[in-house]
Amino acid sequence: MTADRRFPASVYGRGVEPDARFTLANERTFLAWIRTALAFLAGGVALEVLGPDLNAALRLAASLVLISSGVLVPLAAWVGWARAERALREGRPLPASPAGAALGAAVGVAGFLLILAILFP
């Protein structure tokens, strides 16, 4: 398949083809973020379904934080994959990703809400 027929053209139409090992590593990283998103979605749903003894409002808030993070992570993963692939193709340093810090904050907020839900049933 030629570069002009690969999707997305905004990524594959730039620079030169990098070593396949780097492209495959970038794809594995993308898939790891997708697995993380699935875990966040499953955790949010499980919390709402299996945590009926907790404060309902706080439990719902924590569930929504986890589920909304699970919805946003694939978008961040796609953007991160495209940025890294472009950098590889153009011979530039790999860009930093703020996604890890954002997910850490989401876990912290959800955890804090759960502590409150446990302490104040």
Taking CA atoms, 6 is separated from 2, 14, 24, in Å, by: 7, 11, 15
Q: Is residue 87 part of a domain?
A: yes
Q: Is residue 8 part of a domain?
A: no
Q: What percent of the chain has pLDDT over 90?
A: 81
Domain span holding position 67: 19-119
Q: Is residue 27 part of a domain?
A: yes
Q: Is residue 2 part of a domain?
A: no
Q: Please give the pLDDT value at position 2.
A: 55
Q: Is residue 4 part of a domain?
A: no
Please determine, for residue 120, whether its predicted confidence score (pLDDT) is greater than 70. yes
d(CA 109, CA 107): 5
pTM: predicted TM-score of the whole model, two decimal places: 0.86
Q: Is residue 107 part of a domain?
A: yes
Q: Note the pLDDT tens digit of each residue in 19-73.
A: 999 999 999 999 999 999 999 999 999 999 998 899 999 999 999 999 999 999 9
94: how many CB neighbours lie within 10 A of its CB?
Answer: 13
Concatenating the DSSP letter of every residue in 32-48 gives HHHHHHHHHHHHHHHHH
Q: List the structure tokens of 37.
A: 């998103």
What's the domain count of the chain?
Answer: 1
